[in-house]
């Protein structure tokens, strides 16, 4: 049955969708209409989703059964990959860097944030994921309104670009990739390795 359904799909086509800002509003839950659309699309083509957040957060947004609802789910910008509900690949920042280098990076980043003069700060400035570290100068547990305000402030004052440029230079030897994708944070990963 599943094989017959798969054969009916248009061969060689993979429709890949970003999560935040595409399937959902940033960090919000998917709407029933979008879920229904994706379900119908999957009857015709292979469908994958890719998001910067970890699988826990993507599941909060797209539903608990996300890894079986889509053919492919790439969380942490593809550093953790699921196909047909099964884990097929993962990248570990901890293994790549080792605890000493990781600690040096985290310590430096937290000191930088401590010295940063921005209008407000909340909590969870660093979120450690499997293949990446997510760094937020305001702190990830700010409210939606504070998140929106920070985004505007950042556009005017380049808080994140300036911070990324300092970290890039200081940790050039680690060959890290920095990506400013969302509203309040940036991702640090080992995509180049
Ligand atoms: O999916 C885009 C980004 O979404 C979040 O960013 P922010 O909280 O800054 O809006 C994070 O999950 C980030 O990792 C991700 O890349």
Where residue 170 sits, what CATH number does that domain have? 3.30.1240.20
In degrees, rounded to 5, the angle at the alpha carbon of residue 139 between the alpha carbons of residues 133 and 141 is 105
Same domain flag for 160 and 186: yes
- Tally the domains of the chain: 2
Are 125 and 57 within one domain? no
Low-confidence ranges of the chain (pLDDT < 50): 1, 193
Integer Cα distance of 86 and 111 in angstroms: 39
Q: Is 61 in the pocket of ligand 1 (CB under 6 A)?
A: no
Arithmetic mean of pLDDT over the chain: 93
Confidence (pLDDT) at 5:
60
Tokens 């970290």 belong to 167
The predicted structure's pLDDT at residue 193: 43
Q: Which residues contact 51 (CB under 8 A, 6 or more apart)?
A: 18, 19, 20, 57, 58, 61, 74, 75, 77
Between the CA of residue 192 and those of 80, 91, 125, 147, what are the distances in Å?
15, 11, 24, 29
Q: Is the CB of 46 under 6 A from ligand 1?
A: no
Q: Domain residues for 43?
A: 14-90
The atom number, within ligand 1, closest to the CA of 132 reads 14
Q: Check whether 8 is labelled as a binding-site residue.
A: no
pLDDT at 77: 87
Q: Return the ligand 1 atom nearest residue 77 CA.
A: 16
CATH label of the domain that carries residue 48: 3.40.50.1000
Residue listed under structure tokens 């929106």: 148
Active site residue 20: yes
Residue recorded with tokens 């950042």: 154
Of 22, 23, 52, 137, the residue with max ligand 1 atoms within 8 A of its CB, to mutate for a pocket test, comes to 52
Can 99 be counted among the known catalytic residues?
no
* Domain co-membership, 122 together with 55: no
pLDDT per residue as tens digits for the range 64-116: 999 999 999 999 989 899 999 999 999 889 999 999 999 999 999 999 999 99
40 carries a ligand binding annotation:
no
């Amino acid at each position: 049955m599943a094989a017959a359904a798969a054969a009916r799909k248009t061969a060689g086509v993979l429709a890949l969708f970003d999560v935040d800002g595409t399937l959902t509003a940033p960090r919000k839950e998917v709407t029933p209409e979008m879920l229904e659309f994706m379900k119908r699309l999957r009857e015709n083509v292979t469908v994958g989703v890719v998001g910067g957040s970890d699988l826990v957060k993507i599941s909060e947004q797209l539903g608990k059964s996300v890894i079986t609802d889509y053919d492919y789910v790439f969380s942490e910008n593809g550093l953790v990959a699921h196909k047909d509900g099964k884990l097929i690949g993962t990248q570990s920042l901890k293994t790549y860097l080792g605890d000493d280098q990781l600690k040096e990076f985290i310590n430096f980043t937290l000191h930088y944030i401590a010295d940063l003069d921005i209008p407000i700060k909340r909590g969870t400035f660093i979120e450690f994921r499997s293949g990446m570290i997510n760094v937020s100068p305001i702190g990830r547990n700010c409210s939606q309104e504070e998140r929106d305000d920070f985004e505007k402030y950042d556009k005017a004052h380049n808080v994140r670009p300036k911070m990324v440029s300092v970290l890039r230079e200081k940790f050039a030897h680690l060959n890290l990739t920095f990506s400013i994708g969302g509203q309040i944070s940036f991702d640090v990963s080992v995509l180049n390795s």
